[in-house]
Amino acid sequence: MSSQSLRLRLLLAQAASVVVALVLAGIGLTVLFERHLERRVDQELATYVRQLAAHLVIDADGALNLEAPLADPRFAVPLSGLYWQIEDQGTGTVLRSRSLWDDVLPLPVDEPEPGQAHRHPLPGPGGSLLVVHERLVLLGNGPGERRIRIAAAVDRATLDAAGTDYARQLAIALAGLALVLVAAAAVQVWYGLRPFEAVRRAVTAVREGRAKRLDGRFPDEIRPLVQEVDALLEAQEGSLARARQRAADLAHGLKTPLTVLGSEARGLAARGETKAAAELDRLARDMRRHIERELARTRLAGATSRGQATALAPAIDRLVRTLRRTPAGEARDWRLDVPAHLLVAVEADDLGELLGNLLDNAAKWARQSVTVQAVADAGDVRLAIADDGPGVDAAELDQLGTRGHRLDTGKPGHGIGLAISRDIALAYGGTIAFANHPDGGLRVSLTLPAAQLPTGQASMR
């Protein structure tokens, strides 16, 4: 797909939207997870503090003791990351979990109010950062009241590791989800743009002459475009029809004046005014040549229709039979090698004009024989028309088929036959080339688009 592809643009837009949405979702989910994790940790630490306060007793000697250890085994593992500490502010007695080993939690000086929980970030064992929950508990009454600070702490690295692990797993899950969403977007784009492929096929059918309008059922969003194209085709068809009719009317209107000019030229020649007769005859021939040229151009306007299937062999046979009735064609040996199954996508009248000019030119210049060969080649039909005449000077080969160029003014004609053949071939997407045959004579290489007989068609022109 090129950078101008609508499909590529839609896919890139969809992919960018998916990536942005999932990145934002990933950030949001990670933040929510970290907040949830911190709330859970705060709740657990607060629970540990309440359990410590519930199991705290003062024995008969006035010593502070913990009646029962906490159930979490991490408190018994040195430097496990989970700690507790009890500090008697009156006697300075400090009770600690085994996990603290030789360290002491450096509780801040600002004491909380009794029963009020405080949360602190404090340094811990081995340079770690701790999250500490602390409460002040009062034991006893009156003068013997004891102020006890109870704290539970967890290593911040434990929370960070949990957040990192969650983010990594979330990223993997979101990446998989992104692939699924992009694939789904590709399917949506493909399905959504399918009607444009139907439009392309309909336009191709019109261009190839298999249809006159964009037939088919199209979505509401595309139907106005299809209607506009159909209207344009209808207007173009009408314009071409009117142009052809005007050209035919013009040719019919000029036919009589040209005939009169020819008669006048012959009359002047009979009276001995040869110079004036020659000039008048030249003007008449020039006018006739221009008319023939423009009629050919008008007929070829819109002649790119390739829905017509014309059998090649019968068309050539008819032309050769006609040429054999002429003085030049009668004396020639016509060698035809044209398979009967070959069809060309050229209208019958245009094919007759195209090949008629080429065969007529070959008959004029041949000494004895004219050879016509045709073969199918990868969707095209290749023809070779060769004569055994004198050939063409190399300097003039490039001029063949140009407007009004004649090889020899001594031969009859106006010099436009090859030009008309060239125009017809190019109008139907074919090619034409002229070259001298190694054994002498001119060889015309012609390529025309091949055609297939439409299903259900019973005959060909």
Residue 252 sits in the same domain as residue 394: no
The answer as to whether 244 is a domain residue is yes
User: Which of 272, 300, 328 corresponds to the end of one domain?
Assistant: 300
Quick one: DSSP state of residue 99?
Answer: G
Distance from C-alpha of 58 to C-alpha of 51, rounded to nearest angstrom:
16
The answer as to whether 336 is a domain residue is yes
Give 4's contacts (C-beta < 8 A, 6+ positions apart).
Answer: none
Q: How confident is residue 298, by pLDDT bands cut at 50, 70 and 90?
A: low
CATH number at residue 377: 3.30.565.10
Residue 47 sits in the same domain as residue 148: yes
In the chain, what percentage of residues exceed pLDDT 90?
36
| pLDDT given for residue 382 in this prediction | 94
The answer as to whether 328 is a domain residue is yes
Q: How do the residues of the chain divide into helix, strand and coil, expressed in percent and rounded to 5?
A: 50, 20, 30
pLDDT surpasses 90 at 85:
yes
Residue 174 sits in the same domain as residue 322: no
The answer as to whether 218 is a domain residue is no
The answer as to whether 81 is a domain residue is yes
* Residue 369 bridge partners (DSSP): 333
Residue 137 sits in the same domain as residue 65: yes
Residue 155 sits in the same domain as residue 9: yes
Average pLDDT over residues 415-429: 82
Q: How confident is residue 303, by pLDDT bands cut at 50, 70 and 90?
A: low
Residue 248 sits in the same domain as residue 286: yes
Give this prediction's pTM.
0.54
pLDDT surpasses 70 at 23:
yes
Q: How confident is residue 461, by pLDDT bands cut at 50, 70 and 90?
A: very low
The answer as to whether 47 is a domain residue is yes
235, 227 Cβ separation under 8 angstroms:
no
Q: Give the pairing of strands 369-377 and 333-337.
A: parallel
Q: What is the pLDDT of the chain when averaged over all its residues?
A: 84
In terms of C-beta density within 10 A (0-12 exposed, 13-18 middle, 19 or more buried), how is residue 127 classed? exposed
Q: How confident is residue 296, by pLDDT bands cut at 50, 70 and 90?
A: low
The answer as to whether 83 is a domain residue is yes
Average pLDDT over residues 441-449: 92
For 164, half-sphere exposure in the C-beta direction (CA atoms, 13 angstrom radius) is 6
Average pLDDT over residues 6-14: 87
Q: Is 371 helix (H, G, I), strand (E, B) or coil?
A: strand
Distance from C-alpha of 72 to C-alpha of 35, rounded to nearest angstrom:
23
Residue the block writes with tokens 């336009």: 203
Residue 1 sits in the same domain as residue 134: yes
Axis-axis angle for helices 223-270, 274-300 (nearest 10): 170
Distance from C-alpha of 346 to C-alpha of 65, rounded to nearest angstrom:
111
Distance from C-alpha of 9 to C-alpha of 234, rounded to nearest angstrom:
34
- Least confident range of 119-128, 224-233, 257-266, 386-395: 257-266
Q: How confident is residue 302, by pLDDT bands cut at 50, 70 and 90?
A: low
pLDDT digits (tens, 9 = 90+) for 242-287: 877 777 777 767 777 777 777 887 888 888 888 887 888 777 777 7
| pLDDT given for residue 411 in this prediction | 46
80, 103 Cβ separation under 8 angstroms:
no
Average pLDDT over residues 308-312: 86
Domain that holds residue 140: 1-207
Q: Token pair of 265, please? A: 């030229």
Residue 18 sits in the same domain as residue 114: yes
Residue 13 sits in the same domain as residue 146: yes
User: Which of 267, 300, 333 corresponds to the end of one domain?
Assistant: 300
Residue 148 sits in the same domain as residue 19: yes
Query: Which one, of 277, 340, 268, lies nearest residue 310 by Cα?
Result: 340
Average pLDDT over residues 46-70: 87
74, 99 Cβ separation under 8 angstroms:
yes
User: Which of 269, 300, 331 corresponds to the end of one domain?
Assistant: 300
Distance from C-alpha of 390 to C-alpha of 366, rounded to nearest angstrom:
8
pLDDT digits (tens, 9 = 90+) for 95-134: 999 999 889 999 887 767 777 888 889 998 988 999 999 9
Distance from C-alpha of 228 to C-alpha of 179, rounded to nearest angstrom:
40
The neighbour count for residue 192, using CB atoms within 10 Å, is: 13
Residue 40 sits in the same domain as residue 160: yes
Distance from C-alpha of 123 to C-alpha of 252, rounded to nearest angstrom:
110
Q: Token pair of 302, please? A: 């819109």
Q: How many domains does the chain have?
A: 3
Residue 289 sits in the same domain as residue 314: no
Rg over alpha carbons for the chain, rounded to the nearest Å, is: 50
82, 72 Cβ separation under 8 angstroms:
yes
The answer as to whether 131 is a domain residue is yes
180, 197 Cβ separation under 8 angstroms:
no
pLDDT surpasses 90 at 165:
yes
Residue the block writes with tokens 């096929």: 201
